[in-house]
Chains A and B, each alone.
Chain A
Amino acid sequence: DIQMTQSPSSLSASVGDRVTITCRASQTISDYLNWYQQRPGKAPKLLIYTASSLQSGVPSRFRGSRSGTDFTLTISSLQPEDFATYYCQQGFSTPRTFGQGTKLEMK
């Protein structure tokens, strides 16, 4: 199985900050990397698919990128509604696997 390792596990930031979350795959997954946002008590929401494609309706302050087996989610200017937990997920092979999550909290 492909292991997905996210860092950091938690992050404190303020409105307006630029934040970066990283996800590393245990083997090559090409661009098959997706990012999700989950607010407390809600279902996950797809933000980015195939490493860098913005899902329809998602604000452009969310950006995804790839360097080899390392993937990055960047939020350019944090808004109050962005404080949530973020997960990466590989869509390259079965079983589909998720990172352990990054909880983004308000400083």
Chain B
Amino acid sequence: EVQLMESGGGLVKPGGSLRLSCAASGFSFRTYSMNWVRQVPGKGLEWVAFISSSGRNTQYVDSVKGRFTISRDNAKNSLYLQMNSLKVEDTAVFYCARNNHDSFDIWGQGTTVTVSS
């Protein structure tokens, strides 16, 4: 079964750091580019970051540039999001999502990040 499973969410103070992980299974992870998408509870979806299949190319939404870093380990079938200098407005459910046909065709169940003092 094709599956993505996020972990690493939690409660962190403003200015703190958190590292999210996404474990992939059931498909050839190394051949797909990947994304992180977030959703503030009760609100819409926001794309956060992209990484190419090799990991050489990355892209970010402006609001997280310089604070978040997307990375991957193809040997471990894993995707990561290092989040530094967290702000209250980063509070959201974070999803990892597989890229296919310029769409997000497979999603994880999400992990919740809460930034609060």
Q: Which residues of A contact B (CB under 8 A)?
A: 32, 34, 36, 38, 42-46, 49-50, 53, 55, 87, 89, 91-92, 94-101
Residues in B with CB closer than 8 Å to A46 are 103-105
- 22 A-B residue pairs with CB within 8 Å: A34-B102, A34-B104, A36-B45, A42-B109, A43-B108, A44-B95, A45-B107, A49-B101, A50-B101, A50-B102, A50-B103, A87-B45, A89-B45, A89-B47, A89-B104, A91-B101, A91-B102, A91-B103, A96-B50, A97-B47, A99-B44, A100-B44
Q: A34-B102, A43-B107, A53-B101 are in contact. List 5 more A-B contacts (CB 8 A).
A: A46-B103, A49-B102, A95-B61, A96-B50, A97-B47
In the complex, what distance in Å separates the CA atom of A36 from the CA atom of B103? 10
B60-99 near A? 1/0 per residue, CB < 8 Å: 0110000000000000000000000000000000010000
Given A34-B104, A50-B102, A98-B109 contact (CB < 8 Å): no
Taking chain A's interface residues, is the majority helix, strand, or loop, or is none over half, making it mixed?
loop
Residues in A with CB closer than 8 Å to B102 are 32, 34, 49-50, 91-92
Residues in B with CB closer than 8 Å to A36 are 45, 104
In the complex, what distance in Å separates the CA atom of A36 from the CA atom of B101? 14
Structural contact, B109 and A43, CB atoms closer than 8 A? yes
Structural contact, A43 and B110, CB atoms closer than 8 A? yes
> Across the two chains, which residue of chain B brings its CB closest to A43?
B107
Structural contact, A55 and B104, CB atoms closer than 8 A? no
Residues in A with CB closer than 8 Å to B109 are 42-43
In the complex, what distance in Å separates the CA atom of A12 from the CA atom of B47? 28
B65 CB, nearest partner CB in chain A, Å: 10
A21 CB, nearest partner CB in chain B, Å: 14
